[in-house]
Structure 1
Amino acid sequence: MFREYDVIVVGAGHAGCEAAAAAAAMGSKVLLVTMNMNTIAQMSCNPAMGGVAKGQIVREIDALGGMSGIISDKSMIQFRMLNMSKGPAMWSPRTQNDRMRFSEEWRLALEQTPNVDFWQEMAKEIIVKDGRAVGIVTSLGIEIKSKAVVLTNGTFLNGKIHIGDKNFGGGRAAERSATGITEQLVSLGFESGRMKTGTPPRIDGRSLDYSKMEEQKGDENPSKFSFTDTRPLDKQVSCWITYTNDDVHGELQKGFDRSPMFQGRIKGLGPRYCPSIEDKINRFAERDRHQIFVEPEGWNTIEIYVNGFSTSLPEDVQYKALTKIPGFENAKMFRPGYAIEYDFFPPTQLKLSLETQVIENLYFAGQINGTTGYEEAACQGLMAGINAHNKVHDKEPFILKRSEAYIGVLIDDLVNKGTQEPYRMFTSRAEYRILLRQDNADLRLTELGHKLGLASDERMKKLVDKKADIESLIQELKKFKAEPSVVNEDLSTLNTATIREKIPVINLLRRPHLGMKEIKSIDQQLEKLIGKYSPEVQEQAEVHIKYEAYIDREQKLAEKIGSLETFKIKSDFDYDRVKALSSEAREKLKRIKPETIGQASRISGVSPSDISVLTIYLGK
């Protein structure tokens, strides 16, 4: 019935979809196994993609040739570029999406990928032979063979849903949990743990009074995620903002004695930066209100996502508290919020390729690694799919450095530091933020994606042309001299110092409050010169000119630290022979098995002196 596949991907969430699409695009025969074909790429939580640091990840996925950016663009109902009042390293794209269209677009994209087959059933076991993953066994007892397996189980591994004092098995609302795999992996020597996440109630939008809320519109000139020719929005749907108050908090507190979190029924740790509403009012008792974002679920649906009101309190407590929020007085609830506990596997058990150390050709991606968020899951899926394909075709693993991508930061953090709580990406986690901007993801990564066979020839040609245009514009701006008689009047109007003699216009562009838009306005010749180039090229040239010194400094630092990556460590290296290592460093190094001195230096518990000792020993 089944042929042998190159790669089997278990789970069709954000990680699984990216893994299947990537491996198939690179030429592998892929089987995507899911418990429900109707929930492929389901947005289990909020109907949105991107945000601070997460938007950078989506653009990186797109630049490499992944699909999340394209799918997000095709299904978006609102676009906003966050943090525009800050420097470009902090600018972060975010879309509000049509939940149903997002899932549909992903399924259509996968169905149109020739190398992807589908099977709807639960995978209950990995077939392991001679320490290598060679297929799966389904709940019907069907054996399907492959050369590699990618597990992207999300919240389904022994998932348990909590609503007040009720709990029941489930991987998501109205969907059963997956069993068997955790138990098998633990028996094979893996360490597992429990984590939790939560989701808010869903509301009938017709029952809300928006006149009591603040409207949050999309950007006036909306952009998009993908560097391809996906279309930006010409109309957008508004979100709304309202706030909790003392009455809301009072109603919630009445249910604390029935809270599974406060009563100890939930053992797993939840995401620190996305706490439940009951956790917020308990931890931040001094605050008299918390922000609530009212997010439409799509173009045509009336369903509303109540962002900021994640909860596992009893449904009657949830409802009473909701009706005390301004605008929610007559709210009708579609379904209550809930918390979900699930199994994960500490990611220090992985290689940087996301292949497990215990079983060869077995890869983990997404929430199984202790992360939270669609974007974090999707980028891991992409990398696992790439590396599973490379492994079965005898190619080197594809590893992104911390200085190359937020994706590299995320995976490096997981493998070397592990995580005790759901890991979420922030710009503060990256030491090379000026290099890793959302606007230059294609300049950083598309050439790498093209070499892999993921990014198309068309993308590569577009990149080459864009690079040439950026360099051309920068050189033209260096040559062009601004004349006092032409520009001074406009400079005064712009509240910036006038000039006494001709100077390169590039010097004006380096002023903090002058951008390309203002520069074009001070001289008709400049407007004509700059207008030859696309808005994207103008933006890149401006950022490069303004931040050139900072970019060069970070690049040199990255190169200096990157030199440690050339010191390779054999996988069977005996750390017990290095007597001068601290006991903690020896223990961590033996467990994580770093591939280079650079990786070893980033392991929590390995000190600089340990690295010096190790470098000297390896040098000998």
Structure 2
Amino acid sequence: MFDREYDVIVVGGGHAGAEAAAAAANMGSRTLLVTMNLQTIGQMSCNPAMGGIAKGQIVREIDALGGYSGIITDRSAIQYKMLNKSKGPAMWSPRAQNDRMRFAEEWRMSLEQTPNVDFYQEMVKGLLEKNGKIIGVRTSLGLDIKARAVVLTNGTFLNGLIHIGEKQFGGGRAGEKAATGITEQLTDFGFDSGRMKTGTPPRVDGRSLDYSRMIVQPGDKNPEKFSYLDTPILREQRDCYMTHTSVEVHNLLREGFDRSPMFNGRIKSIGPRYCPSIEDKIHRFASKDSHQIFVEPEGWHTVEVYVNGFSTSLPEDVQFKALRSVRGFENVKFFRPGYAIEYDYFPPTQLKHTLETKLVENLYFAGQINGTTGYEEAASQGLMAGINAHLKIHEKDPFILKRDEAYIGVLIDDLITKGTEEPYRMFTSRAEYRTLLRQDNADLRLTPRSFKLGLASEERMRRVMEKEEKSEKFISFFRKTSYRPEAINPILERLDSASVKQADKMYKVFSRPKVRMEHMLEMEEVAKFVSDNQLNHEVLEQAEIQVKYAGYIEKEKSNADKLQRLENIRIPDDFDYSALKSLSFEAREKLQAIRPVTISQASRISGVSPSDISVLLVYMGR
């Protein structure tokens, strides 16, 4: 059946696997996607949504790099919101509710229409390795499929164990069996492995809910979208709703705590700190009388509803009884109960920045196998693993994003350098250069780099160049053009901003905190310039941010440039840290284990102090 060698085999068809297969194939690699169920490619295993705080920036970056997640999100969206609009643009984060079935269908269709992608449905039981280099995979039927590189994106399937109250059974997801064999082989190779936990809430019948007792949560009045291409903008949206738990609900849930696998010791692994189960929230925040519950439709036409905020592994009878005491849920019918799942992962300090393993050549890990949580985090890793697998086997330089270039760069650097002992989730606070890494400029930051790789299309590059040129031209217009006091003062007075006595450049008054683009457009000269040059919303937004936050942007660029000096000092692969007695014992141990590539990376390792870095700098100077 498989008489030829593939360039890249991707194991797993979730968000990481789908992006990895698309990237490798679009760059020209003969790619095989092997998954246990072809009907669940791109499946949204948990909530039917993409984006959110910091995650929306990642989806925009994936799109700018030529990935599919943004396009597929736009094609299957049922609601769109820009979060954090009351804060500065560094914090703005797009989020979309999606039609779960359409999302998976769009992924399947997009991959089927991608040249160079083949598909095969079966479990991969093991890896084919020779002299420390990967040469293929072995399936449960005993088929050996040869490849020059393999990307593992196994999600929660590696020895997955599902918990509902006192019941537990093997599975990688509700209704799907776990994957076995790979963990055991990797530990035989010398890899360290661990266990993590995540959970999901009940799915319920929307016809049994009383939405009149809940708070409506509509989408944006003027919704945007994720992709920088011509994907559809939502003309119609579905509402979400919000309700709350109560003291009564909490007391009913506590009745089942003695049968909770989380509290009686059956679950020993660590779950996501920032997405706790409802029982964990009640236990950790005992003084709180209520918690928010978001009621999210699963699609345009289905009645299935996702109960966001009620993730649980309590017994199903406890879940049902407690949820019926939530406002609006008095007559709720379950489609299926919530559950927790434990699964194997491999601490990501065992990887290079390309996501290739340090122990076995041409083997890549992406997604939850690296200890992350979230569709967006997984998809971005899959994209980078697919790109780098292709580049490696074609003897080209690796593609690595730095911390000042992308949230994806922050994500991977955090994983490789610091590791993680709990499911890693991206936040804006993790990015020290978040003013540079905004959702609005992901195309300007990353498309030129992707275009050089041959991943971003000429159409993408043309759009980026046009946006950049028009934005710069508009900013130049503000710098060169003067306002008339009689034209600007009525606007300033309305905004309670000090009036002006003489003409000055528009750039100066536009820099004021209260003055927005909408106010500048009231001036005849500005409106005419916008009309004459056919400037769209993206250009107007870009110009406004560049003008109003110029000082912050320049400061971050300066800080990034200073740190770049340490990034340029490379550490030899075979460097012997034990020979440097001036290093602390902990630093020697951590540096020897992680083997950083540069001084900059070494400085970010937990346990390596500034004085340890000084020792390394002195040695490198010599």
Q: Is the 8 A contact 2:475 2:547 kept in 1?
A: yes
Identity, % of aligned positions: 67
Partners of 2:491 and 2:549 in 1: how far apart?
24
Q: What does residue 245 of structure 1 align with?
A: 246
Distance in 1 (alpha carbons) for counterparts of 2:530 and 2:458:
28
2: CA distance, partners of 1:246 / 1:589: 50
Within 5 Å, give how 1:154-173 maps onto structure 2: 154-173=155-174
Which whole-Å deviations, capped at 9, do the CAs of 1:84-105 have from their partners, x for residues lacking one?
0000000000000000000000
Equivalent position amino acid for 1:500 in 2: K
Q: TM-score, normalised by structure 1?
A: 0.99
Q: 1:590 aligns with which of 592, 596, 600?
A: 592
Aligned residue in 1 for 2:141: 140
2:489 aligned with 1:504:
no
Deviates more, 1:214-223 or 1:502-511: 502-511
- Is 1:528 the counterpart of 2:528? The answer is yes
- The alignment's TM-score, normalised by the length of structure 2, stands at 0.99
Quick one: which amino acid aligns to residue 209 of structure 1?
Answer: D
For 2:485 and 2:513, locate their aligned partners in 1 and report how far apart those are by CA, in whole Å.
Answer: 20
Name the amino acid aligned to 1:565.
E
* Separation (CA, whole Å) in 2 of partners of 1:490 and 1:346: 57
Cα deviation 1:26-52 (Å, max 9, x = unaligned): 000000000000000100000000000
Note if 1:544 corresponds to 2:533: no
Structure 1 SS opposite 2:411? helix
Per-residue deviation at 1:189? 0.2
Contact 2:200 / 2:312 at 8 angstroms: preserved in 1? yes
CA distance in 2, matches of 1:611, 1:397: 26
Alignment partners' CA distance in 2, 1:276 and 1:486 = 56
Partner of 1:308: 309
Matched residues in 1 for 2:605 and 2:164: separation?
Answer: 38
Residue 266 of structure 1: SS of its match in structure 2? coil
Structural RMSD (CA): 0.8
Shift of 1:590: 1.2
Matched to 1:363, the amino acid is Y
- Compare 570-579 and 196-205 and name the one that shifted more: 570-579
Q: How far apart, in 1, do the equivalents of 2:494 and 2:546 lie?
A: 26
The CA deviation at 1:225 is 0.5
Identify unmatched segments of 5+ residues in structure 2. none
Cα distance, 1:148 vs. partner?
A: 0.4
Residue 307 of structure 2 aligns to which amino acid in structure 1?
Answer: V
Where 1:368 maps in the other structure, the secondary structure is: helix
1:190-589 to 2 correspondences below 5 Å: 190-521=191-522, 523-531=523-531, 532-589=534-591
Deviations 1:483-523 (A, max 9, x none): 112222232123222111111111121111111111112x2
Q: Secondary structure at the match of 1:594?
A: coil
Secondary structure (helix, strand or coil) at the match of 1:421 reads coil
Q: What one-letter code is carried by the residue in structure 1 that aligns with 2:601?
A: Q
Partners of 2:54 and 2:264 in 1: CA distance: 34
- The C-alpha deviation readout for 1:533-567, integer Å capped at 9, x for no partner, is 11111110110000111101100100110111111
Measure the CA separation in 2 of the matches of 1:411 and 1:491. 46
Which contiguous aligned blocks of 4+ residues in structure 1 show a shift greater than 3 angstroms?
none
Distance in 2 (CA, whole Å) between partners of 1:572 and 1:364 is 23
- Secondary structure in structure 1 of the residue aligned to 2:529: helix
Q: Secondary structure at the match of 2:487?
A: helix
Supply the AA of the counterpart residue of 1:526.
Answer: V
Aligned to 2:189: 188
Instruction: Return the offset for 1:579.
Output: 2.0
Cα distance in structure 2, aligned partners of 1:163 and 1:535: 48
Shift of residue 482 of structure 1? 1.1
Q: Which amino acid aligns with 1:199?
A: T
Write the deviation string for residues 256-290 of structure 1: whole angstroms up to 9, x where unpaired: 01000000100110000000000001110100000
Q: Which amino acid aligns with 1:94?
A: R
Distance 2:61 2:424 in 1: 19
- Post-superposition offset of 1:525: 2.3
Alignment-mate amino acid for residue 111 of structure 1: E
Partners in 2 of 1:373 and 1:489 — Cα distance? 49
- AA partner of residue 551 (structure 2): A
Rounded to whole Å, the distance in 2 between the matches of 1:114 and 1:486 is: 57
Whole-Å separation in 1 of the counterparts to 2:509 and 2:451: 37
Aligned to 1:113: 114
Deviations 1:330-359 (A, max 9, x none): 000000000000000000100111000110
Q: Matches of 2:508 and 2:215 in 1, distance apart?
A: 41
Residue of 590, 602, 616 corresponding to 1:614:
616
Distance in 1 separating the partners of 2:110 and 2:23? 12
Deviations 1:177-197 (A, max 9, x none): 000000000011000000000
Instruction: Determine the C-alpha separation between the residues in 2 that align with 1:404 and 1:526.
Output: 32
Contact kept, 8 Å, 2:491 with 2:519, in 1: the verdict is no
Q: What secondary structure, in the 3-state scheme, does the structure 1 residue paired with 2:7 have?
A: strand
* d(CA) in 2 for partners of 1:35, 1:363: 19
8 A Cα contact 2:136 2:150, kept in partner? yes
Question: 2:193 touches 2:346 (CA, 8 Å); kept in 1?
Answer: yes
CA distance in 2 between counterparts of 1:98 and 1:537 reads 30
Counterpart amino acid of 1:525? Answer: E
Q: Displacement, 1:415?
A: 0.5
SS at match of 1:119: strand
The answer to whether 1:102 aligns with 2:103 is yes
Q: Hey, what's the Cα distance between the residues in 2 that align with 1:489 and 1:64?
A: 45
Structure 1 segments unaligned to the other structure (5+ residues): none
CA distance in structure 2 between the aligned counterparts of 1:149 and 1:266, rounded to whole angstroms:
31
Measured in 1, the distance between the counterparts of 2:352 and 2:406 equals 18
Cα separation, 2, equivalents of 1:525 and 1:463: 26
CA distance in 2, matches of 1:117, 1:590: 40
Q: Which moved more, 1:561-570 or 1:427-436?
A: 561-570
TM-aligned CA deviation for residue 64 of structure 1: 0.7
Q: Using the alignment, how far apart are the partners of 1:122 and 1:489 within structure 2? A: 70
What do residues 421-443 of structure 1 show as CA deviations (whole Å, max 9, x unaligned)? 00000000010010000000011
Q: Which amino acid aligns with 2:82?
A: M
Give distance in 2, aligned partners of 1:425 and 1:203: 29
- 2:42 maps to 41
**Offset of residue 72 of structure 1:** 0.4
Report how far residue 380 of structure 1 moved. Answer: 0.3
Which residue does 2:23 correspond to in 1? 22
SS in 1 for 2:102: helix
Q: Secondary structure at the match of 1:241?
A: strand
Q: CA deviation at 1:362?
A: 0.4
